[in-house]
Structure 1
Amino acid sequence: MNINATLFLQAVVFAILVWFTMKFVWPPITRALDERAQKIADGLAAADKARTELAAANQRVEEQLASSRNETAARLAEAERRAQQIIEEAKVRATEEANKIVATAKADAEQQVVQARETLREQVAALAVKGAEQILRKEVNPTVHADLLSRLKTEL
């Protein structure tokens, strides 16, 4: 065989192989590569979308945290204000109660003083009557009367 004929025959076989590959092998490979590229592009787009959603979610979380901090601070301030109000009310009630107790004690003391004076008057009257009885039983003598009056003074 001639080298030229072999070379020509090999060129024809190579052309048939190229045509067969381009007709039957190459399209499924390019389709698979295109599908793979599309999947990668879709995955990247989904990742970008997820990244933006994550950033938005983080921002919402930060806003909610800030609002909850503000709300907590407001509640604490309200609780402190209410506690101060309760303390002030308790002080006022305690002062009123102390004033009532002092007034009651003063009234009781005044009543006891009046009662003691009344008892003292009764005792003085009894002593005066007793002294008068003793003076009248004895004879009228100024030294004896002075002596009786001095004893009466000491008893009072």
Structure 2
Amino acid sequence: MNINASLFLQALVFAVLVLVTWKFIWPPLMATLDERAKRIADGLSAADRAKHDLELAEKRAAEELRKAKSQASEIIAQAEKRASAIVEEAKDAARVEGDRLIAGAKAEVDQQVHQAKEELRQHVSALALAGAEKILRKEVDAARHADLLATLKAEL
């Protein structure tokens, strides 16, 4: 065989190989590579979106935490205010109860003083009557002299 014919035949086989590759192998290979590049790009954009979403979620979580702390401090302030009000109400109630007890005790003391004065008047009038009886050595009629005794009681 001749070298020129061999070279020509090899060139022809190579051209057929290039043509078959370019017509049947190259388009699916390029489609697969394009699809893979697209999936990689989609994956990278999804990663970027996830990173952005994570940042937003962290910001929202920080904001919610700040709001929760603010609400907690408001609740604590309201609780302290309510506790102070309850303490003041209890003090006022105790003061009122103490005043009521003192007034009741004063009324009871006044009543006992009045009762003691009344008993003392009765004893004094009885003693005066006994003294008058002894002085006069006569019988004193209590019914007849009731007005006299009432006047005497009132004077004492």
Normalising by the smaller structure, the TM-score range is: 0.7 to 0.9
Alignment of 1:5-154 (within 5 A): 5-137=5-137
Give distance in 1, aligned partners of 2:28 and 2:108: 115
Report the more deviating stretch, 127-136 or 17-26: 127-136
Residue type of the alignment partner of 2:89: E
1:64 offset after TM fit, Å?
1.6
Secondary structure class of the residue paired with 1:84: helix
Structure with the larger RCO, 1 or 2 (CA within 8 Å, 6+ apart): 2
TM-score (norm 2): 0.80
Listed one character per residue, the Cα deviations across residues 90-119 of structure 1 (whole Å, up to 9, x for unaligned) are: 201210121121012111111111111111
1:86 offset after TM fit, Å?
1.7
Listed one character per residue, the Cα deviations across residues 108-133 of structure 1 (whole Å, up to 9, x for unaligned) are: 11111111111111012112211332
Give distance in 2, aligned partners of 1:62 and 1:29: 49
Residue type of the alignment partner of 2:132: A
Structure 1 unaligned blocks of 5 or more: 139-156
1:26 offset after TM fit, Å?
0.9
Tell me the equivalent position of 2:142: none
TM-score (norm 1): 0.80
Tell me the equivalent position of 1:2: 2
Residue type of the alignment partner of 1:28: P
Residue type of the alignment partner of 2:60: R
Tell me the equivalent position of 1:153: none
Once the two structures are aligned, what percentage of the paired residues are identical? 54
RMSD: 1.7
**Matched pairs, number:** 138
Structure 2 unaligned blocks of 5 or more: 139-156
**Where does structure 1 differ by over 4 angstroms across 4 or more consecutive aligned residues?**
none
Listed one character per residue, the Cα deviations across residues 64-107 of structure 1 (whole Å, up to 9, x for unaligned) are: 21012101101210121111012102201210121121012111
